Amino acid sequence: MPGNAPQTLADAIDALLPQTQCTRCGYAGCRPYAEALANGDTALNRCPPGGATTIDALAALLARPALPLDPACGVETEPRVARIDEERCIGCARCLPPCPVDAIVGAQRQMHTVLDSLCTGCELCIAPCPVDCITLVPRPVATIAPAADANRERHAAHVARAQRRRDDRAARIAARKQALHA
């Protein structure tokens, strides 16, 4: 929640969500799902990463009955992290932009790796990999999963950085167009 602004219902709901930003609820991230819930537009059983614990917390907050997790959204799993098969990684960097919390390190034409301390197991890096070298594995017992608040902050930074890149690119193109007609 920004600054000292009063807490809205969407803020209170968002605070109960795991912030993996996995989109399995059918929304673009946790905040859009929180807003839809606050508006009464969706069901409270659509968050597989949060599972039964999150459903119970949402039911208590919203004074609605708890429901079993909607299987159309996925299933509740043990905590997991992504693993990159370093032998097969071609360094294309296509997995970097989709990671909502910037948990993958690497650059073009270099082998990439996942930071367990940041990975939420959201799966969003898997489909974009052209050589299918990313899998999910159970979170190693010696590692600690990132907290929801940290996920939220890292996601906000990720979104802001992506927007800056788009703005910079648009400004460069506009400047080039202007130079052509100068």
- Largest Cα–Cα distance of the chain, in whole Å? 65
Distance of closest approach, residue 62 Cβ to ligand SF4, in angstroms = 14
Q: Contact with ligand SF4 (CB under 6 A): which of 44, 122, 152, 154?
A: 122
Distance of closest approach, residue 55 Cβ to ligand SF4, in angstroms = 11
Q: Contact with ligand SF4 (CB under 6 A): which of 29, 35, 58, 152?
A: 29
Distance of closest approach, residue 133 Cβ to ligand SF4, in angstroms = 5
Rule CB under 6 A: is residue 145 a binding residue for ligand SF4? no
Rule CB under 6 A: is residue 146 a binding residue for ligand SF4? no
Q: Contact with ligand SF4 (CB under 6 A): which of 10, 55, 58, 123?
A: 123
Residue 135's DSSP bridge partners are 83
Rule CB under 6 A: is residue 125 a binding residue for ligand SF4? yes
Could you give the CA distance from residue 78 to residue 62 in angstroms, rounded to a whole number? 27
Rule CB under 6 A: is residue 121 a binding residue for ligand SF4? yes
Within 8 A by CB and 6+ apart from 55, the residues are 44, 45, 47, 66, 67, 68, 69
Rule CB under 6 A: is residue 129 a binding residue for ligand SF4? yes
Q: Contact with ligand SF4 (CB under 6 A): which of 10, 58, 103, 145?
A: 103
Task: Single out the residue of 11, 8, 6, 12 nearest to residue 60, CA to CA.
Answer: 12
- Which of 10/101 has CB closer to ligand SF4? 101
Contact set with ligand SF4 (CB under 6 A): 17-18, 20-25, 27, 29-30, 33, 47-50, 82, 84, 89-95, 98-99, 101, 103-104, 106, 112, 114, 119-125, 128-129, 131, 133-134
